[in-house]
């Protein structure tokens, strides 16, 4: 297996593709050009002014030095890289939908209707009673959900200071709880990789505002004791928060609302195939049970009386806003289109194939997988090899490696999530890349990667002396 990534190395100055600023720098005298008085303007502006053909080549070259799900397998555990159907782009690009958010409700009925329909879809899928579409990413959804939980407790006169989070949870859970002003109580994992119910009982109490839980968890295990977990948290007066990162594994087979969760966020990229765009935009809608609906951000959308269309409304005890407007609209449109394309059976089949693929891939690996039975993802261990080095070697074989060295309960973890979009032959190739890299010599691993646009990058050195702009490079 060999795969060479496009590279545009220029040997005379040791750069790949030159920066825009190295292609052109143009300075404009702003004060000469401006109708404004001089004391209100800057003196000059210096930026690249490349021609359109140069821009087209520059960004095309950059794109060719970028791995994507359309390039090949991208089994990053917990990140859920699956194919993004092309037609959703065209649906979102409808010029009639490109309206300003401050329009009157009566002149924006189309967008309001789509928002309403998507709220309904998501409510059904999660088993939740009310949904807001406003949070612009999964982490923003977490922040919204925890803020809603906090508002609920305050409304009922409960002063609670702690959020309980399993050690294996996503880093965002901890950061979210802290941002919302809570102390974090970390719950150690049980021997079987799941929540230790006795440890949970000991950890929750009068100060517990919520337990944040991912299910299946970050090594793909379903929390079989979820009913008991919910009882423990609820008996203590706390709320149960569902981190939707792994909902793709449950579609059509389990709903957070039926498991006792009170509030959840949906990762529309991870579950509903909206493109990740190299780091966003995402969307992190939040669903809640009836008791929490009055605290959701404003506005939500409902059917107006007497069949007169749709209207935005402010929940009675709303936490206010979590985005300046209504969130990442274009992403929400793509979410709607994907869900409508798959329907009930397609969604359930996506979960089935995602779980089938993870199990088939694990079966073919020479690496051990310490915990099971897992669902859509698994954490293999690289044992006495360095997981990060194995990952770098995999890059030479035309696949993206899994998430490495996380979660920490698996030593030298390689958290792998192939998703439903890989077929058998693709999974066979992927397993070969794993096995070749895992068995390769120390020298080969140290030298890897060498068929990529850049060879191994010294990230530690880059962080020691941060250069964050072309101006910083010029200043050397």
Partner 1 sequence: MSGTGGTPYAPHTDGETAAMLSAIGVDDEEALFDIPDAVAFDGEFGIEPRSEREIRAECSRIFARNDDLTEFLGRGHYGHYVPSVVDHLADRAEFLTSYTQYQPEVSQGFLQALFEYQSMLVELTGLPVANCSMYDAATALGEAATLADRVRSTSGDVVLVPDHLREAKRAVLSNYCAGADLTVESYPMVDGNADVDALADRAGDDVVMVYAENPTVRGCIEERLAAIGDLAADADALFALGSDPVSLSVLEEPASVGADVVVGEAGALGLPTAYGMGLGIFACSDEFLRQVPGRLVGVGEDAAGDRAFTLTLQTREQHIRKERATSNICTNQAWVALRAAIHAATLGPDGLVDLANDCVREAAALADRIDESSGATAPVHDRHHVREFAVRVDQPAAAIAEDLEAEGFAVHAIDEHLLQVCVTDLNAGRTDDLVAAFEEVI
Binding to partner 1 (CB under 8 A) within 186-215 occurs at none
β partners of residue 28: 45
- Segment interacting with partner 1 (CB under 8 A) among 195-203, 240-248, 433-441, 450-458: 450-458
Q: Which helix (H) or strand (E) holds 363?
A: helix 329-364
Q: How far apart are CA 455 and CA 450, in angstroms?
A: 5
Residues listed for the chain: 476
Q: Give yes or no for residue 181 binding partner 1 (CB under 8 A).
A: yes
Contact 330, 162 (CB under 8 A): no
User: Minimum CB separation from partner 1 for residue 429, in Å?
Assistant: 13
Q: How far apart are CA 352 and CA 419, in angstroms?
A: 10
Please return the burial class of 307, using the count of CB atoms within 10 Å of its CB with bins 0-12, 13-18 and 19+.
exposed
Q: What is the bridge-based pairing of β-strands 378-381 and 413-416?
A: antiparallel
User: Minimum CB separation from partner 1 for residue 113, in Å?
Assistant: 5
**Cα-atom radius of gyration of the chain, to the nearest Å?**
25
Q: Give yes or no for residue 313 binding partner 1 (CB under 8 A).
A: no
User: Minimum CB separation from partner 1 for residue 116, in Å?
Assistant: 10
Q: Give yes or no for residue 217 binding partner 1 (CB under 8 A).
A: no
Residue 360: how many CA atoms within 13 Å on its side-chain side? 18
Q: What is the footprint of partner 1 within residues 108-137 (CB under 8 A)?
A: 108-111, 113-114, 117, 121, 124-125, 127, 136-137
Please return the burial class of 334, using the count of CB atoms within 10 Å of its CB with bins 0-12, 13-18 and 19+.
buried
Q: How far is CA 87 from CA 272, 325, 335, 341, 415, in A?
A: 14, 26, 12, 10, 30
Q: Which helix (H) or strand (E) holds 336?
A: helix 329-364
User: Minimum CB separation from partner 1 for residue 270, in Å?
Assistant: 10
Q: Give yes or no for residue 99 binding partner 1 (CB under 8 A).
A: yes
Q: How far apart are CA 434 and CA 364, in angstroms?
A: 9
Q: Give yes or no for residue 233 binding partner 1 (CB under 8 A).
A: no
User: Minimum CB separation from partner 1 for residue 271, in Å?
Assistant: 12
Q: What is the footprint of partner 1 within residues 356-415 (CB under 8 A)?
A: 356-357, 359-360, 363-364, 373, 375, 391-392, 395, 400-401, 403, 406
User: Minimum CB separation from partner 1 for residue 383, in Å?
Assistant: 21
Contacts of range 458-462, beta carbons closer than 8 Å, 24 or more positions apart: none
- Segment interacting with partner 1 (CB under 8 A) among 25-33, 237-245, 377-385, 437-445: 25-33
Which of 263, 271, 262, 276 has the alpha carbon at shortest distance from 328?
276
Q: Give yes or no for residue 1 binding partner 1 (CB under 8 A).
A: no
Among 2, 12, 52, 306, binds partner 1 (CB under 8 A): 52
- In terms of CB distance, is 234 or 323 closer to partner 1? 323
The three-state secondary structure class of 84 is coil
- Segment interacting with partner 1 (CB under 8 A) among 288-296, 300-308, 408-416, 468-476: 468-476
User: Minimum CB separation from partner 1 for residue 202, in Å?
Assistant: 20
Q: What is the bridge-based pairing of β-strands 403-404 and 413-416?
A: antiparallel
Give the interface size with partner 1 as a residue count (CB under 8 A): 199
Q: Give yes or no for residue 156 binding partner 1 (CB under 8 A).
A: no
Q: What is the footprint of partner 1 within residues 250-289 (CB under 8 A)?
A: 250, 252-255, 258-260, 269, 273, 275-282
Can you tell me which residue has the tokens 């002149």?
107
Among 350, 369, 379, 382, binds partner 1 (CB under 8 A): 350
Q: What is the footprint of partner 1 within residues 426-445 (CB under 8 A)?
A: 426-427
- In terms of CB distance, is 259 or 382 closer to partner 1? 259
**252: its two tokens:** 């059509």
- Segment interacting with partner 1 (CB under 8 A) among 23-31, 206-214, 233-241, 285-293: 23-31
User: Minimum CB separation from partner 1 for residue 201, in Å?
Assistant: 19
Q: Give yes or no for residue 320 binding partner 1 (CB under 8 A).
A: yes
User: Minimum CB separation from partner 1 for residue 458, in Å?
Assistant: 6
Residue 316: how many CA atoms within 13 Å on its side-chain side? 7
Q: Give yes or no for residue 71 binding partner 1 (CB under 8 A).
A: yes
DSSP state of 190: P
User: Minimum CB separation from partner 1 for residue 123, in Å?
Assistant: 10
């Amino acid at each position: 297996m060999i795969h060479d990534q496009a590279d545009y190395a220029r040997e005379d100055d040791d750069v790949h593709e030159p920066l825009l600023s190295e292609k052109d720098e143009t300075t404009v005298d702003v004060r000469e050009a401006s109708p404004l008085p001089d004391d209100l303007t800057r003196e000059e502006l210096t930026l690249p002014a490349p021609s359109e053909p140069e821009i087209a080549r520059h960004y095309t070259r950059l794109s060719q030095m970028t791995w994507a799900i359309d390039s090949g397998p991208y089994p990053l555990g917990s990140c859920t890289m699956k194919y993004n159907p092309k037609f959703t782009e065209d649906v979102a690009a409808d010029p009639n939908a490109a309206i300003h958010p401050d329009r009157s409700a009566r002149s924006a009925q189309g967008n309001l209707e789509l928002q309403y329909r998507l709220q309904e879809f998501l409510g059904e899928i999660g088993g939740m009673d009310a949904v807001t579409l406003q949070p612009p990413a999964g982490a923003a959804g977490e922040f919204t959900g925890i803020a809603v939980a906090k508002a609920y407790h305050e409304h009922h006169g409960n002063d609670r200071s702690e959020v309980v989070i399993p050690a294996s949870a996503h880093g965002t859970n901890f950061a979210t709880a802290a941002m919302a002003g809570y102390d974090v109580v970390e719950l150690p994992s049980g021997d079987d990789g799941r929540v230790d119910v006795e440890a949970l009982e000991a950890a929750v109490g009068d100060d517990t505002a919520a337990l944040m839980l991912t299910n299946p968890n970050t090594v793909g295990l379903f929390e079989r004791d979820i009913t008991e977990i919910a009882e423990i948290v609820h008996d203590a007066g706390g709320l149960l928060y569902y981190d939707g990162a792994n909902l793709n594994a449950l579609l059509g087979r389990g709903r957070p609302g039926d498991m006792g969760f009170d509030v959840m966020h949906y990762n529309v990229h991870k579950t509903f195939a909206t493109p990740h765009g190299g780091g966003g935009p995402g969307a992190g809608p939040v669903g809640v049970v009836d008791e929490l609906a009055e605290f959701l951000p404003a506005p939500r959308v409902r059917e107006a009386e007497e069949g007169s269309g749709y209207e935005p409304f402010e929940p009675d005890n709303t936490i206010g806003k979590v985005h300046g407007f209504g969130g990442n609209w274009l992403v929400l449109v793509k979410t709607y289109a994907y869900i409508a394309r798959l329907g009930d059976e397609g969604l359930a089949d996506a979960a089935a194939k995602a779980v089938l693929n993870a199990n088939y891939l694990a079966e073919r690996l020479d690496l051990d997988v310490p915990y099971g039975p897992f669902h859509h993802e698994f954490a293999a261990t690289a044992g006495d090899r360095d997981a990060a080095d194995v990952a770098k070697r995999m890059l030479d074989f035309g696949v993206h490696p899994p998430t490495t060295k996380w979660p920490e309960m698996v030593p030298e973890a390689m958290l792998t999530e192939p998703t439903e979009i890989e077929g058998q032959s693709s999974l066979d190739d992927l397993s070969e890349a794993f096995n070749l890299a895992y068995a390769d010599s120390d020298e080969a691993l140290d030298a890897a990667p060498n068929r990529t646009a850049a060879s191994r990058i010294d990230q530690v050195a880059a962080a020691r002396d941060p250069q964050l702009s072309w101006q910083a490079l010029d200043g050397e």
